[in-house]
Each structure stands twice: as C-alpha cells, then as structure tokens.
Amino acid sequence: MANKSLTFSGIFISIADKQIELKSFKDKLTQTSYSKTFQGTFYTFNLNFVDDFLKIYFTHGRPTPLPEEVINIDTLAPEENPRQKNQYEPKQNFALIDFRTGILWLNNIKKKNPLLEFLKKELDEKNIVVKDVFNETEFVEAIKSLDEIKFSAVPDLFSSTSTLTNEMSNEIYGYEASVGTFYLRYESKTVSQTLREKIKNLFINRQHLNGIMISGRDAKGLGMLFNSNVFSKKIQFNSVVDENEIFSQDMVFATLINAAKNEDF
C-alpha cells in the first residue's frame, strides 16, 4: 500500500487564559458526530475521547462548483459528472487535543478557524484562544539543529543590514533582479553559539527581509518552524493511504498519539 506524508502543527489552546480540562469537554461534547456550515463550506466532525486525548476527524467540502462533465482518464473523453447538486467530495482533516499539555495538533492549519468556531459553539465558550507554542526568544533557545533557512530581500536592503555583504548586493543588481532569495540547507546541522547569533540577527533585521523561513529540530528531534512570524512545533510522519489516497483514521491517530506522548512541553 502507498504512503503519504502528514505534518501536524502544535498550538496552545486555552479557555479564558486557563488550561483546558478534559471533564468540561466530555460534559459538553456529548455527541460523537456533528455537522456545521462555515462560510459556505460544509463540515462534519467526528469525536472520540481516548485517555487524555480528544481525537477529532473532520471533513469539509462544497457542492459547487459542479462541472457538467468529467474527463475519463482512460479514454480522455468527457462524460457526464455523476455528482449531484446536493453532494460534495469530502477532504480529510485530523486534529488531536492533548489535555495533559493543552496542545492542539492540527494537520491543516488553514482549518483552524472552522474548528475553533465549532468548539466555541458546542462548548458554549466564546473565549477560546490559540497561541503559537513559541515566542521568538524561546524558538532561538530551543532550536538545536537546522534543516533549512530561506529568506528574500530587495538588493538595496542587503547592504543596509549585517545579514549580507555589499558583494552579494552587487551580484543581485548585476542580474537585474528585483528580489533575491537565499536557500541555506543543512544536514541536521547542530546549532552552535555562533550560528545561534546569526539566527538572532535574522530576526533583528527581518523588517528588511521577506519570506523568512527557518526549519529545524529541538533536543528531542521534534520539528520546529518559523515562517512569516509564525512559530510552532511540528510532528511529521508517513501514513498508509488506500487506492483512492484516503488515510486510515485509526492509523493516523495511533501514530499521532504515540508521537504526542513522547513529547515534553
């Protein structure tokens, strides 16, 4: 069977600045299945409490657009679309709430708002807040090895910072480019004190830079990411998909829970 990669972002979830409690969720989330509409998109939420975790499997989709025809990949001929006007093709999403740490793990961060709106309504709590796991200082101190650094800037800003030299600026001008992007890739490079100062320098000068992305790992080997002012922790793994490239819910959650149990926040 084939495998596909999944990446989960970890963010803190709290209610009125207090850590979430398993009992209050169990008391209010009494159903196992819910359906909601958010900004014209349809969602179904399936919930399952396991030990100190809440597994949330949810799908989303829209019945439109609905093309009149589909293309047969064998014949390349158009055929009538079998989907009805009151149907949609569900896209998979996985979320896990860890009540031990107050961390919400989510594989599609773009679906954070619909998930929060669902929780706010069903828990009758308007003051549910999510925060990135790290602030800037914590990120710099916690990162132990680097995978990649990427950043961009217009040439006339290069020479105004200590990030790049005048020679680099002149080189970009020589190619008549309006923006230069630099990729620095590492083989799990250990972050020395000198390299740590370079990372701090990137943050100091980031008002002059665009598209800063720093990826690496902490002491436990858990992925860390800074991207466009977003700090977070990551869990990434491959999971089995069927012939239609659909993930197995049981396998995904089993792997995710095992990874979450091995993390210490």
Pairwise CA distance, residues 135 & 137, whole Å = 6
Tokens of 121: 């309504």
| 56 contacts 47 by C-beta, under 8 angstroms | yes
What tens digit of pLDDT does each residue of 40-76 get? 999 999 999 999 999 999 999 999 999 999 999 999 9
The pTM assigned to this predicted structure is: 0.72
Q: How many helices (H) and strands (E) does the chain have?
A: 7, 15
pLDDT bracket for residue 265 (50, 70, 90): very low
* Whether 143 contacts 149, CB under 8 Å: no
Rounded distance between C-alpha atoms, residue 90 and residue 83, angstroms: 12
pLDDT value, residue 159: 56
What average pLDDT does the segment 229-252 reach?
A: 90
Strand partners, 153: 180
* Residue-range domain boundaries for the chain: 2-131+250-258, 144-217
Measured from the Cβ of residue 255, the count of other Cβ atoms closer than 10 Å reads: 17
CA angle 114, 250, 32 (to 5 degrees): 50
Categorize the per-residue pLDDT at 162 as very low, low, confident or very high, splitting at 50, 70 and 90. Answer: low
CA-CA distance, 109 to 74, in Å (whole number)?
Answer: 36
Mean pLDDT value of segment 153-171: 61
